[in-house]
């Protein structure tokens, strides 16, 4: 009787919660409450979904007694997750994936003047700056996991960003041009409290040479696991508290400028 009441409560809550998204955990919960395959499949087909079809997660489903038919449907649906848009996502404290919106550099700076004073004996560092001393994307763990979703073949507009000095609403081109997290680097930002900004070195100039891009010695390592197709799980080594960002380092399409980064804060 108690089990029957629990099933009724769950059914009611599922029907009222129009915004609800069915996940791997939801399917396991329905199985534990006695839902048969037809009920689970019907619920999946009539709901927003956000499934993880990685091998480790599929193994959990199998151990929980989920049938092959339901697992096959989950694998198929995961390719078209309702909320699966291109971009970089992080998992918040509630286990929900949140999109990291690109942050636009507010300016650049260099120590070229100091270089001239010492007749070229030092390099002039080119720095890109972000406003504020803390990202809006705050992660409460030193071992975060990120999901990168690419779709080079997509033609629709999603995850728009504002391009200062240009029309708003350009394509989220990073994830149409790139196809792997290897085309991004993870760096720690230097916080300037007095200037209320964060900055990163993006190049160097000397009297004999010039270079642009992130120096490899500043790039932080991360592990890449393929979830499926153009979807990857990215796990950095343990990060100490501070400000960080992913920066695209691949080829920039004609007509685009790489003036944005995907920043986050480890607290």
Yes or no: say if 161 and 141 are a contact pair by the CB < 8 Å rule: no
Say how many C-beta atoms besides its own lie within 10 A of residue 184's C-beta.
Answer: 24
Which range, of 23-27, 28-32, 115-119, averages the lowest pLDDT? 115-119
Q: Which of 83, 160, 149, 130 is nearest to 264 (CA)?
A: 130
Q: Residue 187: name the closest of 159, 150, 226, 213 by CA.
A: 213
Residues 169 and 206: their CA atoms lie apart, in Å, by 37
Provide the pLDDT confidence category of residue 72 given band limits of 50, 70 and 90: very high
Of the listed ranges 130-139, 169-178, 190-199, the least confidently predicted one is: 169-178
In the block, residue with structure tokens 């400028």: 257
Determine the pLDDT at residue 50.
84
Percent of the chain with pLDDT over 90: 42
Average pLDDT over all residues of the chain: 78
E-strand stretches of 107-182:
107-110, 124-131, 138-139, 146-149
- pLDDT score of 156: 42
Lowest mean pLDDT among 29-33, 50-54, 55-59, 77-81: 77-81
Query: Given the structure tokens 């069915």, which residue do they identify?
Result: 22
Mean pLDDT computed over 130-157: 82
Instruction: Convert the pLDDT of each residue in 223-258 to its tens digit.
Output: 999 987 788 999 999 999 999 999 998 777 666 667
Residue 49 has pLDDT above 90, yes or no: no
pLDDT of residue 205: 66
Cα(223)–Cα(175) distance, integer angstroms:
19
pLDDT of residue 207: 57
Could you identify the residue written with the tokens 């919960």?
29
The domain locations on the chain are 2-78, 87-266
Classify each residue of 244-253 as buried b or exposed e, where b means 16 or more C-beta atoms within 10 Å of its C-beta: bbbbbeeeee
Q: What are phi and psi of 184, to 5 degrees?
A: -120, 155
Residue 236, φ and ψ in degrees, nearest 5: -70, 160
């Amino acid at each position: 009787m108690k089990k029957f009441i629990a099933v009724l409560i769950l059914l009611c809550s599922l029907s009222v919660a129009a915004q609800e998204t069915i996940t791997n955990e939801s399917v396991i919960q329905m199985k534990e409450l006695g839902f048969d395959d037809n009920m689970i499949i019907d619920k999946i087909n009539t709901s927003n979904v956000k499934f993880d079809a990685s091998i480790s997660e599929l193994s959990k489903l199998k151990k929980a007694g989920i049938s092959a038919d339901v697992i096959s449907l989950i694998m198929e649906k995961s390719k078209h997750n309702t909320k699966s848009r291109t971009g970089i996502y992080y998992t918040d404290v509630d286990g929900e994936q949140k999109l990291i919106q690109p942050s636009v550099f507010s300016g650049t700076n260099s120590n070229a003047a100091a270089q001239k004073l010492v007749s070229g004996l030092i390099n002039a560092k080119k720095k890109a700056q972000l406003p504020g001393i803390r990202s809006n994307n705050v992660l409460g763990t030193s071992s975060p996991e990120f999901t990168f979703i690419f779709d080079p073949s997509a033609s629709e507009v999603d995850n728009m960003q504002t391009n200062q000095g240009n029309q708003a609403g350009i394509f989220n081109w990073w994830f149409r041009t790139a196809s792997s997290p290897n085309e991004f680097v993870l760096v720690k930002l230097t916080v300037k409290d007095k200037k209320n900004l964060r900055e990163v070195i993006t190049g160097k100039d000397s009297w004999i040479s010039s270079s642009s891009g992130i120096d490899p010695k500043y790039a932080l390592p991360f592990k890449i696991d393929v979830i499926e197709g153009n979807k990857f799980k990215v796990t950095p080594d343990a990060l100490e508290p501070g400000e960080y960002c992913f920066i695209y380092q691949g080829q920039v399409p004609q007509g685009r400028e790489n003036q944005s980064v995907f920043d986050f804060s480890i607290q």
